[in-house]
Structure 1
Amino acid sequence: MANVQNLSKTRYVRVADQIESMIMRGEWQPGQRLPTLEELATMFAVSRAVVREACSVLVGAGLIEVRHGDGIYVKSFSLDSFLRPIHAAILLAASDARALLEVGMWLEGGIVEQATQRRRRQDCEFLSETLFMMEASREDAGRMMECERQFHVTLSECAGNEVAVNLLRILYQPLTGVMNLLLMDEDFRDEMITLHRALYDSIAVQDGESAKRHIQLYRRRAMDAMRNAK
């Protein structure tokens, strides 16, 4: 009996994979209605029950939706549906701050290269104001942390990529506590200001390599400070 159940499971997973591949290849477009259960069963040479299970998997993955009385449709892409599982994964990893800082370093390395090329004069002005507030808030860790977050979000906005902006916002949520802890160290506060000043100067003159080097140096310094704080 167990072998029969395992075989059935293997079949619906295989069918789900095949339907997903066809969607990814563009054979079925977002908003397009899929064939009926009977037609899909014939197409994949399986029973309707297997197709139904496969569709349940794909509904859970956010690839398709069942409109009762109307049929099965490929779900239209939305940024929210793309970011939701990433948000969940980041929150689940919230206890591994070093890993999150490392992901931030990888992400921002690409962001700053684009930001240095695409930044506008008003972007530089806002970054400069945020940096000034960061320096003025040296004795207020919470305010300094907010300035740091705003600086990096603004930087991602300069790159002109909405997905990158949202990823960075999500990434900052579980890191707030860690950064507040690090900012209790006066030496780290001073180094944070120095590195952000160097980062700003690189962006202002549109030196992408220098900007990338400074953002990575800052994130590595944060990882080192976190390790030493334990």
Structure 2
Amino acid sequence: MTEGLMVIMARMRPVSRKPVYEQVSDRLREFIDENGLQPGDKLMTERELAAELSVGRSTVREAITALRAQGLVEVRHGDGIYLLQRSDDLITTLAEELVATHVDHPYIWEARQAIEVQCARLAAVRAGGEDLAAMESALDRMAAEIEAGQPALDGDRRFHLAVVQASHNPILIQLVAGIRESFDKTSETSLTRAGQPARSLAEHRAVFEAIVAGNPVLAADRMLDHLVGTTDDLLRIGNVKRPAKGRADAPTDPQA
């Protein structure tokens, strides 16, 4: 290179951060939905799937393993791959059970903490430009709603969903989609309290900053602080009752 000569090069496109096996898993879900396959139906073989999707059989095997972990398919050695249940059936069943117990808000908040903290952690590593734009748009929506004297429910919902989507984890995304109604109930309980919308917006911005910075630990910590702080406030003012201690169906608190 000639000294003093500035060479201008085109920037390289970023590599997709989503593992190939996750993309294969997504394609299989689409195939199941588009073809209306039902529990008991047989899927293509690993060899056929690999050829259809132009990937290696080891990648197909990873995708099938992920679907097995979700209880969606069964591998019968020497026979083939069979659909056990559709993903929407699985999530619907879980959602119905959770919504039926929505009066036990602490259970739902605990689920939110487990799921959304991990989503924030993953988002800090995997979020792309569109993901960040969706989060920023949600924050702007919250600010506009607060300015108009509203509880900012729509902006809040959009932000949390954007973080979940930015995790690029299909299992977490499907799970949240199925139990969104229960999550919305907890947000409504929180955001209709005086002063909470503005506090939530500030905390959301802090989570967003950590995700933009690519700091998974900080993003997870800030999301946890946001959710735990909101839960503790609700319990302290008596709007939500904790399950009675000693109940047979009550989970043991590991921090007790």
TM-score of the two chains, using structure 2 as the length reference: 0.58
Aligned length: 164
Which residue is equivalent to 2:205? 197
**Conserved? CA contact 1:149–1:172, under 8 Å:** no
Judge which range, 102-111 or 196-205, deviates more: 102-111
Is 1:117 aligned to residue 125 of structure 2?
A: yes
Q: CA deviation at 1:76?
A: 4.2
Q: How does 1:159-174 map to 2 (within 5 A)?
A: 159-174=167-182
Equivalent residue for 1:31, pick from 31, 35, 42: 42
Task: Give the greater-gyration-radius structure (CA).
Answer: 1
Structure 2 equivalent of residue 45 of structure 1: none
Deviations 1:73-125 (A, max 9, x none): 95444311321321122122211111101111001121111111111122212
The Cα offsets for residues 119-161 of structure 1, whole Å up to 9 and x where unpaired, read as: 11222122111101111211211xx112111111111111112
Out of 81, 89, 108, the position equivalent to 1:81 is 89
Q: Relative to total residues, which structure has the larger helix share, 1 or 2? A: 1
Secondary structure of the residue aligned to 2:195 is: helix
The answer to whether the Cα contact below 8 Å between 2:117 and 2:223 also exists between their aligned partners in 1 is: yes
Residue in 1 aligned with 2:153?
145
Structure 1 gaps, min length 5:
1-28, 33-60, 65-72
> Partners in 2 of 1:97 and 1:222 — Cα distance?
12
Displacement of 1:177: 3.6
Within 5 A, what are the aligned runs for 1:2-41? Answer: 31=42
Which deviations, in whole Å up to 9, do the C-alpha atoms of 1:19-43 show, x marking residues without a partner? xxxxxxxxxx9728xxxxxxxxxxx
Identity of aligned residues (%): 13
RMSD over aligned CA atoms reads 2.6
Q: 1:223 to 1:74 in 2, by over 3 A?
A: same
**C-alpha separation between the residues in 2 aligned to 1:153 and 1:62?**
24
The 2-side partners of 1:62 and 1:108 are apart by: 23
Provide the rounded CA distance (Å) in 2 between the counterparts of 1:219 and 1:84: 25
- List alignment gaps of at least 5 residues for structure 2: 1-39, 44-70, 75-80, 240-256
Equivalent residues of 2:131, 2:166 under 8 A apart: yes
**Distance of 2:72 and 2:162 partners within structure 1:** 30
Corresponding residue number in structure 1 for 2:195: 187
2:116 aligned residue? 108
SS for the counterpart of 2:179 is helix
Q: Indicate how the Cα distance of structure 1 residues 145 and 110 shifts in structure 2: closer, same or farther if over 3 A, else same.
A: same
2:121/2:217 contact within 8 Å kept: yes
**CA distance, structure 2, for counterparts of residue 159 and residue 117 of structure 1:** 8
Partner of 1:98 in structure 2?
106
Change (3 A) 1:158 1:62: closer
Q: Deviations over 1:161-206 (max 9, x none)?
A: 2221122233330243442232232332221011101000001111
Of 130, 134, 139 in structure 2, the residue corresponding to residue 131 of structure 1 is 139
Label 1:107 to 1:62 Cα distance change in 2 as closer, same or farther (>3 A). closer
Q: Is the 8 A contact 1:182 1:226 kept in 2?
A: yes
